[in-house]
Structure 1
Amino acid sequence: MDRGIVQVKGKIVSVAAMAGATAVISAGTATAVQPIQWQSCETLFNLEPGSVPEEQRLECAIVDAPLDYDNPDGPTTPIAVSKVSPKSGQSKSAIFGNPGGPGDDALMFWANRDTGIAPTDLYNDHDLIAVQPRGLWGSNPIQCDPSLASPFALNPLHDACYGTNGAYIESMTTENAARDMDFVRQSMGLETIDYYGVSYGTKLGADYATLYPEHTGKMMLDSNVGPDWAWSEQSAQTTEAQHARMYDMFEWIASNDETYGLGDTPLKVFNRWKAISDQEVGGPSNMIPPAAQEGDLPNELRGTPVQQPALDVINTTAPGRARLEGLWNAVTLRELTNNAASGMYDTAVGASFNETSWPMVANILSYYDKNQGEIPRVSPVAAQRIRNAKASDNTQFNTQHDMFRIVTCNEDQTVQNPLAIGSAELDAKTGGDRLLAQAAGQRAGSDCFGYQPVTEPIKVSGEGLEQKPIILQNVHDAVTPMGGAENMLERMGGKLVTVDNGGHGAFRTGNKFIDDAVADFFTNGTVPPDTLPGRPTPKPLPTTLEGEYPSNTVGYGEGENPFAQAQRGISQAVDAGAQAAQDAVEPAGQQAQPTEQQAQPTEQQAGAEQSGTEQDPAATGQQAQNTTANDGGAAEDPAEKAARDAAAGIDQAVGALTGTQQNGAQYTVDQYYGQ
């Protein structure tokens, strides 16, 4: 779900609204760990009455943990905790869970999940515990003030956050998050805890197991970060995996050419995509094209002795030709004339995170390619404002985005190389592959440039564990690539269990085999097999916008096609973003109010959140980073804010809809593989 909101039984609650109900750092002592006191979450956090029904069995508490564990008698900081009690009334164990980030809301991690989206055995027989990391709502949310950042600051985020409360910001590390978990364990009177963590939550779990092996029970680490990659290398690995996964997407679209008519080779599809994305505000989408295949050659060369030499020449020279084209675009300042608002670039990059979005991307691309819909455009003045907003995030502060950068940069040991960072930026601006240049910059420390670490990441090890973890991993995960799971296995030991899928996160995505294996592991100690069945390959969506979705298509539910509904709203959503950008050039005080499409989640998104389904990064990534709910800080010029919101809206308009397929489709892989 959107990282700027919390959903409780389908009701959207603003994190900013909850922030005021949380405590601040107190000057108490933490010598003795006090027993935890559970109470109503509604009362504790001033939630809307009735938003947490009794049948949810959800309770919350706040414990006062040491701000600095090296000074346990010093200041404390509030840590929020939630618990879902077992339906049976008898708990076999307490399973602590974390959704990742850093910066993702953990407090509601287990809430509303016993409605078909997760195995019921977990909710029948276990206490399900979530500890909210310090700095997020409920746990003394951070306050970053953009006015404290100089226009010449190397890292405005660092100055804006550390300038408010440096000691507190410095305490935001994975090690302290693990120690906070153990503080909660002690307050609950537990000897051992079980643990499930996804994404960044795998590093948090590994840190906990390294620090407290004697208190660690069963552990499942899903979609693993590489513990030796923390954190610049992890970012670079993710970016490179995105790049490779985009090629896979172009290949999938080409394999369904009969449906989409976008070309029968990845290169042909890529060229169709590039023709549209090259028109977007911000400049052409530099990217090395996929390798040419036989189908890309003239008919007279196919099957002849010169076929392979011709392909070799084309593929060998492709990076250079792409570079020359990009350089020409840069020299001729083409980006200054671009004013399309199709969102195709961000849509495609976002869809690399999950193949369930590919059919929607193909439909959108086909929609524009066949001129079924005119690509919305903005005025030159509005386009310039959008470019300016995209080029600078100096005033773009919000809890989720800040927490990710704060925690990772507090720990990142990469020696920053300004020359290499500048070289990567120059490469991107002069025709180099946009994603590969980004990865090169990340390896050189661009993500934390101007930000010095305050601690070293824990060198994780499973040496002291009585029971080694299960390392669960989607083979084609582009957020936490497969190499991270292999690195985690090397450091922690245990067993690697793979799923032949893309997507980020294997558990609770509608795959019965995975969910049952996870539940059986925690409930009965059953170790899963080496591999678990994945989802079937995505099938094309109907290209027409009418009628019902075919219920006999494996992997999708019955009833009206939610994807067709989403596609009907594509032009409306993009038009809304374009109009908002146009409105941004009006004098301050005359700005139009946010459109309904921008102000409210789409019907499909709201429905997905009511069901508790996590959104695809294609739907949430940009939205989370551009949320307008600043947790404190200086006011922003209304016109600039409108331009920034418009830039976010245009990027999200189509990209958010790609998540509809993942959210709306209830995969029933047992049908595919047999009961």
Structure 2
Amino acid sequence: MNSRKIRQLIAIALAIAIFGYRTLHPSGTDAAKAASGKQDATPVAPVKPVMLGKIAFTPCTLSAAMSKDSLEAQCAHFEVPEDRRHPDGRKIALNIAWLQSTGNGDSAPDPVFFLAGGPGQSAVDSYPLLDPAFRDVRKRRSVILVDQRGTGDSNLLACKAPQDEDDAADTSPEAMRAQASACAADLSKKADLRFYTTTDAVADLDAVRQAIGAQQINLVGVSYGTRVAQQYAMRHPQATRSIVLDSPVPNTMGLGNIFARNLDDALALQFGLCTQDPACKDTLGDPRAELDALLTRLRKQPVQVQYRDATSGEMKQGVLRAQTVAGLVRMYAYMPLAASLLPKLIHDANAGHYENLMALAKMMSGDLENALAMGMQLSVVCSEDADSMVTRPDDAKTVLGNDMTAAMAAMCTVWPTGQVPADFHQPLRTPVPALVLAGEFDPVTPPRYGKEIVEHLPNGRLFVLKGQGHGVLAVGCMPKLFARFIENANARTLDGTCLDTLSYSAPFINFNGAGP
């Protein structure tokens, strides 16, 4: 397969990947910054700080992996108590970036706060790839990026992954507990892991809002960021002008066992594009049946594969396991354009040609090594979602099975947990204007989640984007609709007919595309 085509497809999938499949990720601030395109917050010249309210900002440049472009911004650190019950105790320096409005007129007083996904993604690191979708919004409004505590440069909580390949492949409850226990012991030297929950992050956001002098803010959350947005709007309704929820998860939903069934439902829709296409079906067969056959064979006997490293071009050896393939399928399913390659890759593997799957899986694992702060993710989900981490017999025959849920449950038995408000899992009920977005083929947060949310929002409106996956804010004419919503704070007046031009991604029959 052409390596440039591989990189283009994988980049699309990775750019919108919110939940990582790998259980633990390596830590190290320098490595994380290098892998994620971390911004250099060092002032480009000795200049007088620019004040936004009470916070002093200095010039910085934001960049992102997979992008040659950079963004000029203003950066600062803002201290908050780790434990608000003890304000004189340990402090967390929140990493903040401020992208000023680009228009020549007066800037609106209500900035836009972008809330990253995960849990565990850095807002500062992940925003640059989305900046084109904010182009019209930024003509009148500033964008504020706050690395949620435990992510990015806000006291990063990242876990070290096993270096041995066999250890990394061991996802038994015993192994997961041991890894989580070791990570918690290491991170507890610099953090009280009980205070890195969504509720703590919401308090941080409001402290930043007050410090910059904004009476109201607009919240734009993606995936897990939609939970943060809903919790903020619930706790601080008067300070919330509008909310945009892209690929949302309802407040009522526990994240413990949603992954397996949602992925299978999405694959049924995505693979259906091949089974409904005579040329694809004749050439590649039934993609789901082929995937099941491949996973069954690899579960019985992993395969030693020689493959060409997509980055270095060197020939390498590796072991292809069922969980490796399941992880690759899951990440590709986030973006239907990338998923359109899956039937071809799976069919080739069943014919004994494993090298392309192996190369892509290795490339993906390398690019995802530092995408999520796993320690912060565990502090969130173990505190907020542990009750939902239950295995189900019906999930046993899915692509992911119950392994992921069982692994999370095992880790949470040893992870320090914080408290959540009694009404944390109540639906958001607010008159605040809300724009809710979902992808028809989303393998993590399907459209029914958005439907559930808007039932309780009298001024909310849901758009389901045809044939799209996870993270749809930048798709088609959505940036224009998004900008109009932020300007007018009224989702009901939006004319969404421009979204009708979206089309389905035809499955690849060969590596040149859908055609023969």
Fold match by TM threshold 0.5: yes
- Contact kept in structure 2, 1:199 and 1:480, CA below 8 Å: yes
Give the distance between the partners of 1:250 and 1:182, measured in 2 at CA: 44
Per-residue CA shift, 1:224-269, capped at 9, x if unaligned? 112112332xxx22320101222223322112231463466xxx44
1:125 corresponds to: 140
Per-residue CA shift, 1:137-175, capped at 9, x if unaligned? 32122265789xx98883531442245427532110001
- Contact kept in structure 1, 2:270 and 2:336, CA below 8 Å: yes
Say whether residues 1:35 and 2:54 are aligned partners.
Answer: yes
> Which among 445, 449, 455 is matched to residue 480 of structure 1?
445
Say whether residues 1:254 and 2:275 are aligned partners.
Answer: yes
Residue 210 of structure 1 deviates from its aligned partner by: 1.3
Aligned to 1:472, the other structure's residue is in SS state: strand
Q: Which amino acid aligns with 1:95?
A: V
Give the distance between the partners of 2:348 and 2:255, measured in 1 at CA: 39
Distance 1:185 1:158, change over 3 A: farther
Distance 1:493 1:158, change over 3 A: farther
Aligned to 1:478, the other structure's residue is in SS state: coil
**Greater fraction strand:** 2
1:144-543 map, 5 Å: 144=159, 154=177, 156-165=179-188, 168-232=192-256, 236-259=257-280, 261-262=282-283, 268-280=286-298, 283=299, 334-335=300-301, 341=320, 344-368=325-349, 374-376=353-355, 400-414=373-387, 432-433=397-398, 435-438=400-403, 441=406, 445=409, 448-451=412-415, 453-456=417-420, 458-459=424-425, 462-463=428-429, 465=430, 467-490=432-455, 493-499=458-464, 500-509=466-475, 511-512=476-477, 514-528=478-492, 529=494, 533=499, 535-541=502-508, 543=510
Q: Which amino acid aligns with 1:219?
A: I
Distance 1:414 1:119, change over 3 A: closer
Aligned to 2:153, the other structure's residue is in SS state: coil
Find the structure with the greater CA-based Rg: 1
Q: Which amino acid aligns with 2:222?
A: V
- The range that moved more, 197-206 or 497-506, is 497-506
Residue 84 of structure 1 deviates from its aligned partner by: 0.9
Give the distance between the partners of 1:506 and 1:152, measured in 2 at CA: 36
1:78 corresponds to: 93
Residue 400 of structure 1 deviates from its aligned partner by: 2.4
- Contact kept in structure 2, 1:104 and 1:400, CA below 8 Å: yes
Aligned to 1:141, the other structure's residue is in SS state: coil
Percent of matched pairs sharing the same residue: 19
Aligned to 1:129, the other structure's residue is in SS state: strand
Give the distance between the partners of 1:152 and 1:347, measured in 2 at CA: 22
**Greater fraction helix:** 1
Residue 480 of structure 1 deviates from its aligned partner by: 1.2
- Contact kept in structure 2, 1:260 and 1:363, CA below 8 Å: no
Aligned to 2:192, the other structure's residue is in SS state: helix
Give the distance between the partners of 2:161 and 2:346, measured in 1 at CA: 38
- Contact kept in structure 1, 2:217 and 2:241, CA below 8 Å: yes
Aligned residue pairs: how many? Answer: 435
Distance 1:269 1:15, change over 3 A: closer
Give the distance between the partners of 2:107 and 2:272, measured in 1 at CA: 48
Distance 1:230 1:440, change over 3 A: closer
1:61 corresponds to: 76
Root mean square deviation of aligned Cα: 4.3
Residue 110 of structure 1 deviates from its aligned partner by: 3.9
Residue 459 of structure 1 deviates from its aligned partner by: 4.2
Give the distance between the partners of 2:388 and 2:295, measured in 1 at CA: 35
- Contact kept in structure 1, 2:431 and 2:458, CA below 8 Å: no
- Contact kept in structure 2, 1:368 and 1:374, CA below 8 Å: yes
Aligned to 1:118, the other structure's residue is in SS state: helix
Q: Could you tell me which runs of 5 or more consecutive residues in structure 2 were left unpaired when the two chains were aligned.
A: 1-13, 18-24, 27-31, 43-51, 163-172, 306-318, 357-361
Q: Which amino acid aligns with 1:80?
A: N
> Which among 84, 99, 102 is matched to residue 119 of structure 2?
102
2:20 corresponds to: none
Per-residue CA shift, 1:165-204, capped at 9, x if unaligned? 2753211000111111111111111111111111111110
Per-residue CA shift, 1:385-421, capped at 9, x if unaligned? x9xxx9xxxxx9985233222211122351777xxx5
Give the distance between the partners of 1:113 and 1:434, measured in 2 at CA: 30
1:14 corresponds to: 34
1:550-569 map, 5 Å: none
Aligned to 1:130, the other structure's residue is in SS state: strand
- Contact kept in structure 2, 1:471 and 1:489, CA below 8 Å: yes
Give the distance between the partners of 1:110 and 1:440, measured in 2 at CA: 29
Give the distance between the partners of 2:459 and 2:489, measured in 1 at CA: 14
Q: Which amino acid aligns with 1:353?
A: Y
Distance 1:219 1:486, change over 3 A: same
- Contact kept in structure 2, 1:100 and 1:199, CA below 8 Å: yes
- Contact kept in structure 1, 2:116 and 2:224, CA below 8 Å: yes
Give the distance between the partners of 2:379 and 2:236, measured in 1 at CA: 25
Say whether residues 1:91 and 2:107 are aligned partners.
Answer: yes
2:46 corresponds to: none
- Contact kept in structure 1, 2:222 and 2:471, CA below 8 Å: yes
Per-residue CA shift, 1:537-563, capped at 9, x if unaligned? 112446364xxx89xx9xxxxxxxxxx
Give the distance between the partners of 1:364 and 1:153, measured in 2 at CA: 30
Residue 341 of structure 1 deviates from its aligned partner by: 3.8
Residue 40 of structure 1 deviates from its aligned partner by: 2.0
Q: Could you tell me which runs of 5 or more consecutive residues in structure 1 were left unpaired when the two chains were aligned.
A: 6-11, 23-32, 284-333, 378-385, 391-395, 554-563, 565-675
Residue 124 of structure 1 deviates from its aligned partner by: 1.3
Tell me: higher relative CO, structure 1 or 2? Use CA pairs within 8 A at least 6 residues apart: 2
1:134 corresponds to: 149
- Contact kept in structure 2, 1:15 and 1:137, CA below 8 Å: no
Give the distance between the partners of 1:178 and 1:336, measured in 2 at CA: 44
Give the distance between the partners of 1:218 and 1:63, measured in 2 at CA: 24
Aligned to 1:170, the other structure's residue is in SS state: helix
Q: Which amino acid aligns with 2:342?
A: V
Give the distance between the partners of 1:154 and 1:344, measured in 2 at CA: 24
